[in-house]
Structure 1
């Protein structure tokens, strides 16, 4: 027994030594690599003193301008991807006093067009679509051969507003829910005239983006809700964002109010998407804005087409690109932005490309104050806005 014990001890040492050497290899097999966001862009870190100074001014602006009449919604200002200031106030549900949070999706109204245009530009980058492709190439029944995808994007198509012609009893019964497909059918069968010759001038028109949503569905063979989810929301981890499925998800729609807190109900136009009907948060929209600096999300070529103006028939600073508004100033600076208004929802998204600044104000209670958020541009660059 005296000789056996040392032998056994040595055997055990060898066994455990071998296990110790092999253990790191076995563990390594179960370690998943950290996923890399293909759209992530590195920005320079902002100095703490700079952030503190800007935060103080932005916070005061928010209190004095945005929130002085009972603001209900989310507000965010960021630079280089770093949030300088954000605030959430008001109620998701005024009756129950459920409070607004940074995860509360708010109807983006026409900011939805920014997302619709992004998906269209992705399809262009993938050679599945061409900006100057005629709409009739996708929908042969469409009666206006001269209209192209680009003209839908930059509101130079000449098409009339669906909210106007659908009120004509000879065209549509407004007691029935209008859909994107019905809009195309009405344009194709009811002899609805254009308001002007295509590509001769600018006229903002939601019909354009209702049709663009159908283009997305035609090319991707997915419903618009799923296409946007797979191409934008999931890759960018916009986890609080969605396209409303009017028939099956009305309970997901955050409540919207007049300025008096009187609830605004959904109506027969709320099933239409592409021009509106996307819900999101300031933080999610910041993720989208940052992705737009990545040539992997949308190519440099497509962004150059999107971020320039197309309508110069009239003098002035206002213009429109592909899914984005522009203020082009005489000093050479440009503000890219989009506002929205649907029912009680009023929204504003501002992107200062040179300074990498994002300004977002979303409200579910009617107020025009959100549109003043653009004035903060002068805090970050040579933009002719007054803060006071």
Structure 2
């Protein structure tokens, strides 16, 4: 299916109808130690974590702890005063809140140029992110338009944590990865990665510099989870079987709310949607991480490409999408 993976570091898996058609891992999880990537390697998935956050929030909506029209201000209290009283949970989920972003991906420059305004080792819990979320004025009125916003998903994690009284990563484990059977997925600290987890590298095979100084030491609602290609396949299966939230809630989440700036994709609540057709996807891009996972329920087709370098997944994902379209 893919005969040229020279220089690729990561893993690829393709499933159709519950059968794995193709799976491979290439490159090194730890370049200094010479540890190879395998199909069981846990990779950072960056913003794909937003799908987990959205599912946690929707599960809290389902059990009545939250509603889509809950005001963020109601839960935040005096924190983050630049977030207006008319910003709702639904606005945040749909990237239509208009709030200022601590990591604005519309800014020019390389992904590895971004530097957090607080030391990364201080960002280990969701409440710690208050140090970096404040001070960004609103960009537009809530609901006015789509604007991808990392801050919005950290705020959602904060809201979920406060109303449930449970740490965000435990909510993900109890409400998303546990029901989906995702046994290798979680939020390890980057300064104590467990065995079997890939370090993220800033550049291609010629560099051994990792992303440890570029990202929070532990992820939250907008990114930072680690997972495997098998677990991501399990996520799609469980999601569309209604094992995480009921299928009616899934339908609500994958109903298009916006057309993205590029015009060839749409967005629901926590999930990217194809410009036309039923395909749903999660995507992650960060210093040392590139990831795309796509599920087409009409074809019972799932494919995932993840790389432990900043741009490694994209050429492979493009070739794979083309091959699958031709098959």
Fold equivalence (TM over 0.5) = yes
**Counterpart for residue 50 of structure 2:** 113
Change beyond 3 A, Cα 1:376–1:113: farther
**Counterpart for residue 28 of structure 1:** none
Please tell me whether the aligned partners of residues 13 and 20 of structure 2 are also in contact (alpha carbons under 8 angstroms).
yes
Indicate yes or no: 2:211 matched with 1:265: yes
Indicate yes or no: 2:20 matched with 1:73: no
Please tell me whether the aligned partners of residues 101 and 149 of structure 2 are also in contact (alpha carbons under 8 angstroms).
yes
Q: Matches of 1:269 and 1:96 in 2, distance apart?
A: 22
Please tell me whether the aligned partners of residues 215 and 287 of structure 2 are also in contact (alpha carbons under 8 angstroms).
no
Q: Matches of 1:93 and 1:185 in 2, distance apart?
A: 31
**Counterpart for residue 100 of structure 1:** 37
Indicate yes or no: 2:279 matched with 1:335: yes
Change beyond 3 A, Cα 1:270–1:186: closer
Please tell me whether the aligned partners of residues 184 and 228 of structure 2 are also in contact (alpha carbons under 8 angstroms).
yes
Please tell me whether the aligned partners of residues 152 and 212 of structure 1 are also in contact (alpha carbons under 8 angstroms).
yes
Q: CA RMSD in A?
A: 2.5
Please tell me whether the aligned partners of residues 133 and 151 of structure 2 are also in contact (alpha carbons under 8 angstroms).
no
Count of residues paired in the alignment? 305
Displacement of 1:103: 1.5
Change beyond 3 A, Cα 1:379–1:173: closer
Indicate yes or no: 2:248 matched with 1:301: yes
The secondary structure found in structure 2 opposite 1:323 is coil
Q: Matches of 1:313 and 1:98 in 2, distance apart?
A: 39
The secondary structure found in structure 2 opposite 1:334 is coil
Displacement of 1:113: 1.0
Unaligned runs of 5+ in 2: 105-115
The secondary structure found in structure 1 opposite 2:24 is strand
> Normalization by structure 2: what TM-score?
0.84
Change beyond 3 A, Cα 1:315–1:273: closer
Q: Matches of 1:95 and 1:224 in 2, distance apart?
A: 33
Please tell me whether the aligned partners of residues 346 and 370 of structure 1 are also in contact (alpha carbons under 8 angstroms).
no
Query: Counterparts of 1:1-388 in structure 2 under 5 Å?
Result: 59=1, 62-64=2-4, 67-68=5-6, 70-141=7-78, 142-143=80-81, 144-163=84-103, 173-175=117-119, 177=121, 179=123, 180-184=126-130, 190=135, 192-245=136-189, 249-250=192-193, 254-257=198-201, 258-259=203-204, 260-267=206-213, 269-271=215-217, 272-312=219-259, 316-329=263-276, 333-366=277-310, 367=312, 368-372=314-318, 373-379=320-326
Q: Matches of 1:134 and 1:185 in 2, distance apart?
A: 21
Higher relative contact order (CA 8 A, sep 6+): 2
Please tell me whether the aligned partners of residues 97 and 152 of structure 2 are also in contact (alpha carbons under 8 angstroms).
yes
Q: Matches of 1:97 and 1:315 in 2, distance apart?
A: 39
Q: Matches of 1:99 and 1:200 in 2, distance apart?
A: 47
Please tell me whether the aligned partners of residues 75 and 86 of structure 1 are also in contact (alpha carbons under 8 angstroms).
yes
